[in-house]
């Protein structure tokens, strides 16, 4: 990874004087607006920065890298997320992130620009490719109220 590329898009000056929670919110917003959603099989951080395109994994990768660059511990998370699509609702594979704030890991979703992740996110792994495919077809929504 070319750290100069990451530094070139790092919004550090705008984060000066903010609390860690405020920094995370700014980085979520920055990542959400920096990347245009496009399904991607795999992209390096350099490719994400160059193309500004990607899916949930690229949002998570960029956010985690920027958080760490700004001294906020972060890691990628993968699992299933409930999609409220009216034609085909259900759980689908998804990647998001966790940041270490106030002595605990907090889930955030840079792809959806969510600081407060709700129960629609089911963590299966702390790394995207570990376990995802084994559980994809096992969780089924039986009833939703």
Per-residue pLDDT at 113: 96
Q: How far apart are the C-alpha atoms of 138 and 81, rounded to whole Å?
A: 13
Quick one: which of 21, 137, 23, 123 has its CA closest to 80?
123
Residue 134 has pLDDT above 70, yes or no: no
The model's pTM: 0.82
Contact present, 113 and 29 (Cβ < 8 Å): yes
* pLDDT one-digit tens code per residue, 37-55: 999 988 999 999 999 999 9
* Per-residue pLDDT tens digits for 52-110: 999 999 999 999 999 999 999 999 999 999 988 888 888 999 999 999 999 999 999 99
State the pLDDT at residue 5.
80
**What integer best gives the mean pLDDT of the chain?**
86
**Which residues partner with 121 through β-bridges?**
81
Comparing 22-26, 30-34, 139-143, which segment has the lowest mean pLDDT? 139-143
CA–centroid distance for 103 within its chain: 20
Identify the CATH number of the domain defined by range 18-131: 3.10.620.30
Domains of the chain, by residue range, sit at: 18-131
Q: Over pLDDT 90: what percentage of the chain?
A: 63
For residue 11, the model assigns a pLDDT of 82
**Phi then psi dihedrals of residue 48, to 5 deg:** -60, -45
């Amino acid at each position: 990874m070319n750290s100069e590329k990451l530094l070139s898009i790092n919004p550090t000056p705008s984060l000066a004087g903010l609390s860690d929670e405020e920094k995370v919110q700014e980085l979520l917003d920055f990542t959400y607006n920096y990347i245009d959603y496009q399904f991607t099989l795999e992209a390096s951080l350099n490719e994400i920065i160059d193309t500004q395109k990607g899916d949930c994994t690229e949002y998570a990768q960029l956010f985690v890298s920027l958080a760490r660059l700004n001294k906020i511990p972060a890691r990628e998370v993968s699992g299933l997320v409930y999609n409220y699509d009216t034609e085909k609702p259900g759980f689908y594979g998804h990647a998001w992130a966790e940041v270490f704030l106030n002595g605990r890991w907090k889930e955030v979703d840079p792809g959806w620009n969510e600081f407060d992740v709700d129960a629609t996110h089911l963590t299966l792994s702390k790394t995207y490719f570990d376990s995802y495919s084994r559980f994809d077809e096992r969780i089924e929504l039986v009833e939703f109220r």
